[in-house]
Amino acid sequence: MERKYHIIVIGAGHAGCEASLACARLGLKTLIITLNVDSIARMSCNPAIGGIAKGQMVREIDALGGEMGKITDRAGLQFKTLNKSRGPAVWSPRAQCDKWLYSTLMSKSLQNQLNLDILQSEVTSLIVRNNKVCGVKILTNEIINAEAVIVATGTFLRGVIHLGKIHFNGGRFNEHQASYLSKSLTEDCGIKLGRFKTTTPPRINATSIDYSKILKQYGDEKPVPFSHFTEIEKWRKNLKQLSCWLTYTNKTTHRIVSDNLALSSINIGEVGSKSPRYCPAIEEKIERYPEKTSHHIFVEPEGYNTNEVYLNGLYTGLPFNLQQQMINSILGLENARVIRYGYAIEYDYSDPLQIKKTLETKTVENLFLSGQINGTTGYEEAASQGFIAGINAGLKILNTPPLILGRNESYIGILIDDITTKGMDEPYRMFTSRAEYRLSIRNDNADLRLMDTGRLIGLISDKVYEKFELYRNTLTHTYEGKRENLPTNDDLSPWSFEKINEEIYIYKKYRGYIEIQNKMANKVKKNEERRIPENFDYNKIESLSAETKQRLLKIRPQTMGQASRIHAIKPSDIAILTICLEKQRKEKKQRY
């Protein structure tokens, strides 16, 4: 009997998990296919969620009804709000996690989800008819039909691992690469693929570290959970925070690295592809900043029940014997023993200029791409895209308008606008500096910005929404100084007066700036919302240069706002385009 689903998600990494949960929660019959069910939501690199700008995205996913924040609160072993000494626009929550627990809990969420099936297999090709995807073929040659497919294959497409001079195929260490799907994406779907690379540091045994020589890094005394739905007091009481530690590289470490640059898979050119500029290998840091004699190395536990420790900052593609030498040159790590070596990985990605803002491909209808396959790096960037792809695939099947978040309302909106408008020639990660209105889109107000949208889509339940409304009303009343008939903390839970007071403090202190930003955002919004028809014929506009036409045709912006952000598009081009669109609109009106 032929199997048929509404939606198939390929890959159970951070993108695939959010995508599949969103689809199933919209009531659609969903199947998630992944190479290895033991590695669902595996943290391939750093066992941490959040951080600068990334923490904001996790809060946004949560406010819209996604999973990442909830799981992080249950799997986190140290919570910190970064940048607390600066303004609230850049306060960013981060949690060091128990990576095994995170994976287990996410796996359970998928298993417990109504409408969601899980299958361990490799998708070898996509079935496409009349430029519309209608299913997938798996390794056993079985065809599974679906109305939409979301590809979330991470670093696995033709993945190659490099450890110094040793090279072998793999999607992650000890996991095989996805060998076939790239060919189908190219030949059946017309998607052009490129190559990117990234590195991960070695992990060492905690029992071999001399902790007396390195600096203890505590979690926050009053930690704040990621999820709006976590009951803060109860959670704080049960949370057992572990410490992280800090040490530094030194001249000897740098000499070992620079003497052996030729042996690194980063530098000898065998990994010809680009790596994330903001997460460089130690080889790249030492080459780029020769004047620096030391770099931070954060020593971070990987879980409650393991002695494995992650060396954050020591990303490397050096051969294994040199990794050991390099580690032993660092204070406190003189006798450290490696459990896993660091390595570099190279993989196929698709330039996101080939997808729309809904994350649906421009070439094949109902085919969506999300996560690292779109050239981004990071769990949070992946989860954000997976979540939006899941929602939009679902909404399309339900014949409902798509969800496109604005740059003025979320980091997720910025991420998607950036990658689909500017494309990329190096892996993309999120920063607060990418946000024009960052004082308005803070981590603390993600619920106020987005929970109505989550509710509208159908991912926020009645019960939760009622609580949110109580919180919002209480916030307004408290701000206005109306103190009578206020609910108790218990009534408000999982929201609280602690949160209300923080919100009011920020608003009062920064009101002037926030209002200016909101005004600017509203002005831009008008242009942002002016839609350009999908088949608009730019070639007919004589006053546009050939180069401008080419750029517009390549990206096919969906709105005037998006058009204005395309590289090398001038304000005069936008003025011409506005006149032509207006003219076309009037002509159309006269015809009917």
Ligand X SMILES: Cc1cc2nc3c(=O)[nH]c(=O)nc-3n(C[C@H](O)[C@H](O)[C@H](O)COP(=O)(O)OP(=O)(O)OC[C@H]3O[C@@H](n4cnc5c(N)ncnc54)[C@H](O)[C@@H]3O)c2cc1C
Q: Which residues contact ligand X (rule: CB under 6 A)?
A: 10-16, 33-36, 39, 44-45, 122-123, 152-156, 171-172, 178, 181, 198-200, 279, 315, 345, 371-372, 377-379, 382
Minimum CB separation of residue 378 from ligand X in Å reads 3
DSSP E strand stretches across 277-342: 296-301, 308-312, 338-340
What region does 102 belong to: left with phi over 0, alpha with psi -120 to 50, or beta? alpha
CA pair distance 98, 109, nearest whole angstrom: 17
- For residue 228, give the DSSP letter: T
Query: 20, 152 in Cβ contact below 8 A?
Result: no
DSSP letters, 189-225, are T---EEEEEEEE--EEEGGG--GGGSEEE---SS---
Phi, psi of 275 (to 5 degrees): -115, 165
Q: What are the φ and ψ backbone dihedral angles of 213, each rounded to 5 degrees?
A: -95, -10
Nearer to ligand X, 122 or 447 (CB): 122
**Least gap, CB of 207 to ligand X (angstroms):** 25
**Closest-CA residue to 371 (of 7, 41, 131, 111):** 41
For the sheet containing 76-82, what is the strand order?
A: 48-50, 92-97, 76-82
Task: Decide whether 42 or 228 has the Cβ nearer to ligand X.
Answer: 42
When the beta carbons of 154 and 301 are compared against ligand X, the nearer one is 154
By beta-carbon proximity to ligand X, the closer residue of 369 and 563 is 369
- In terms of CB distance, is 117 or 122 closer to ligand X? 122
* CA 228 – CA 223 distance, rounded (Å): 13
What residues contact 151, with CB distance under 8 A and at least 6 apart? Answer: 10, 11, 126, 181, 185, 367, 368, 369, 370, 373
Token representation of residue 533:
């028809």
Cβ distance to ligand X smaller for residue 52 or 152: 152
Instruction: Return the number of the residue (378 or 561) whose C-beta is nearest ligand X.
Output: 378
Q: Looking at beta carbons only, is 345 or 353 nearer to ligand X? A: 345
Phi–psi pair at 280, nearest 5 degrees = -75, 155
- Looking at the Cβ atoms of 96 and 230, the one nearer to ligand X is 96
In angstroms, what is the minimal distance from the CB of 496 to ligand X?
32
Q: Show the 3-state SS of 476-526.
A: HHHHCCCCCCCCCHHHHCCCCHHHHHHHHHHHHHHHHHHHHHHHHHHHHHH
CB of 205 to ligand X, least distance (A): 20
Pairing of the two strands 367-369 and 143-151: parallel
Give the nearest distance from C-beta 374 to ligand X in angstroms: 8
Least Å from the CB of residue 72 to ligand X: 14
Q: How far is the CB of 180 from ligand X (least distance, A)?
A: 7
Residue 497 token pair: 């007066």
Comparing CB distances to ligand X, the nearer of 6 and 197 is 197
* Residue whose CB is less far from ligand X, 151 or 209: 151
Which has the closest alpha carbon to 562: 416, 457, 455, 443? 416
Q: What is the residue type of 153?
A: T
Task: Kindly state the smallest distance separating residue 310's Cβ from ligand X, in Å.
Answer: 11
Minimum distance from residue 70 beta carbon to ligand X (Å): 17
Q: Rank residues 154 and 223 by Cβ distance to ligand X and give the closer one.
A: 154
Whole-number Å distance between alpha carbons of 163 and 342: 7
Least separation, in Å, of the C-beta of 281 and ligand X? 9
Cα dihedral sign for 81, 83, 88, 89?
Answer: negative
Contact in structure between 54 and 378 (CB atoms under 8 Å): yes
- Say which residues have a Cβ less than 8 Å from residue 301's Cβ, sequence separation at least 6: 77, 96, 206, 242, 244, 308, 309, 310
The CB-of-29 to ligand X minimum distance in angstroms stands at 19
**Residue 161 Cβ vs ligand X, minimum distance, rounded to whole Å:** 8
